[in-house]
Amino acid sequence: MEEKSNKSHILVLPIPVQGHINPMVQFSKRLASKGVNKVTLVTIYSISKNMPKESGLINIESIPHDEKSPPQNIDPMLEWFQLLVSKNLRKIVEKLSDSVYPVKVLVFDSVATWAIDLAHKLGLKGAAFFTQPCCLSAIYYHMDPETTKVSFDGSDVSLPSLPLLTKEDLPSLIYDTDLYPTLRGLIFSQNINFKKADWLLFNTFDALEKEIVEWIRPRYPIKTIGPTIPSMYLDKRLKEDKEYGLSLFKPNSETCMKWLDSKEIDSVVYVSFGSLASLDEQQMEELAFGLILTKCYFLWVVRATEENKLPEEFMSKLSEKGLMVNWCPQLDVLAHRSVGCFFTHSGWNSTLEALSLGVPMVTMPQWSDQPTNAKFISDVWQIGVRVKVGENGVVNRDEIASSIREVMEEEKGIILKENAMKWKNLAKEAVDEGGSSDKNIEEFLSNL
C-alpha cells in the first residue's frame, strides 16, 4: 500500500515512566510508518541515554537535566518534570523546526495536563494521549470533585455505560485522597483535556470498550488507537517492530527463554508486578508460598530492590519449580507456548499485552487504575480471575494457589483461554489495515 507523504513534524511527550513511555513509543512508530516525515520522542536525558538515538522509525530528543537522577517518588518527580519541560520546550521546538518539516503537533501524556497550554502558546496543536482505558476516564469524569456531584460514600457506584462498581473496583485515588496529592490532582485534571485538547487519543480499541466508547464519542471526539504493542505480536505490518525500544531494567532474556523452552505447553505461571509496584514483606511471603503450593512451574520477576523481602525457606525451595529473575522481556514471555497464566497487578499496559497475546490472567491489583482493570478482566472481558483480599489487607497463600489452579487446571481456565483468544483476534483486527484503530490513526493524520 502506498503511503501518503505528510510534511509535518510531530513531537511526542510521555511522562518518564516505563508504562507511559512504551505505548507512546509504539504510537510514534505507527505514525512514522504512515508517512509522517518526522516523529520525535522527547524525554529526559537519564532515559534517552538508554535508548538508541534513532529508535527505528522515530528520533529521540533529550531534555538535559543536572547529574542527579529525577526524584524517585512519584509526586516530586511529576513536579520536577513539569518544571523541566516548561523551561525547555520552546528551545526544543525551535531547534527541531525547519522550513521543510515544521513542528505542528505535540502529542502529550494525558497526565501532563499542563502541556496543552504550553503547546498552544507555541502555536502547536495538542493531542492528549491517554495511556489508560476509556472506563478510567469515564470514572474520573463522573467523579471529579471539582465539577460533578457524584461523590463516593463507601456504597456501590452506578455510572452511565459502566458496570456497577464497588469500592474495590474503583481507582484507589478516588478514596485515597491523601496519597500522592500531586498525582491525584493531575489524574482528575485530565478532564481539562476534554475541553482544551485538539485531539483525544486512547490506548484501547472500540470492540474492547464498546459501551463506554459509544457513550463518550457523541460528547467528545475521542479516537481509539490501540493496543499500542509492537507490530510483530499483532498485525506484523511494521517490519522488525518486535520491541518497545526502552527497558529501564536489563532483561535476563537468554535465561528466561532457555528455561521456558524446557517446559510443556501452558505449564508455566508468569508472575510480574511491573516497574513500580512494591509489595510489603508479608504479601511477598504469601505470594512466594502460594506459588510453591500450586505445584505449577513459575517464572517470577522480582526487582533487585525487592529481593530482600523473600523468606529464606522459599529461596531454598525455588529451584524445584521456579525461576526468579530481576527483569525479563515480557512480550516474548507472554507469547511463549509454555506460559498458561499471567499473575499480575493488572496495570493497563500489562493487561493489553496479555489480552493481545491471548493469555488468561490472575489479577492482584495494588493501586491507581489496577482495581478497575481487574474488574473488567474478571467480569466484563472474562479473561481472568481476581484474588480475594483478606480482612488484614493481605491476599493469603491459599487464595493465591486456588486462583492459579482455577486458571491452570479447572474448567474455568478453558473458558478464560477461549475468551482471551477471542480478544486477541479482535485486537489484531483493530490495528490491521482498515481496522477501527488503524482508521482512527489515518483520520488523525489527515486532519493535521
Question: What's 271's DSSP letter?
Answer: E
In the Cβ-directed half-sphere of 389, how many Cα atoms lie within 13 Å? Answer: 14
Q: How many helices (H) and strands (E) does the chain have?
A: 18, 14
Q: What contacts 348, CB < 8 A, 6 or more positions away? A: 19, 131, 132, 133, 136, 203, 369, 373
- The Cα–Cα gap between 244 and 20 comes to 11
What 8-state DSSP symbol labels residue 274? Answer: T
Specify whether the CB–CB gap between 79 and 85 falls below 8 A.
no
Rounded distance between C-alpha atoms, residue 60 and residue 28, angstroms: 11
Residue 44's H or E segment, with its range, is strand 36-44
Backbone angles phi, psi at 55, to 5 degrees: -90, 80
How many degrees, rounded to 5, is the angle at CA 244 between CA 224 and CA 235? 55
SS3 state of residue 112: coil
The answer to whether the bond into 311 is cis (omega within 30° of 0) is no
- Taken in order 148, 153, 154, 157, the sign of the CA dihedral is negative
Burial class, 75, CB count within 10 angstroms (exposed 0-12 / middle 13-18 / buried 19+): middle
Cell 496479555 maps to which residue? 354
Amino acid identity, residue 309? K
315: CB partners within 8 A, 6+ apart: none
Name the one residue in this structure whose C-alpha cell is 521543510. 100
Q: Residue 135's closest CA among 109, 107, 164?
A: 164
Annotated catalytic residues are 20, 109
SS3 48: helix
C-alpha cell at 177: 485522597
d(CA 18, CA 231): 18
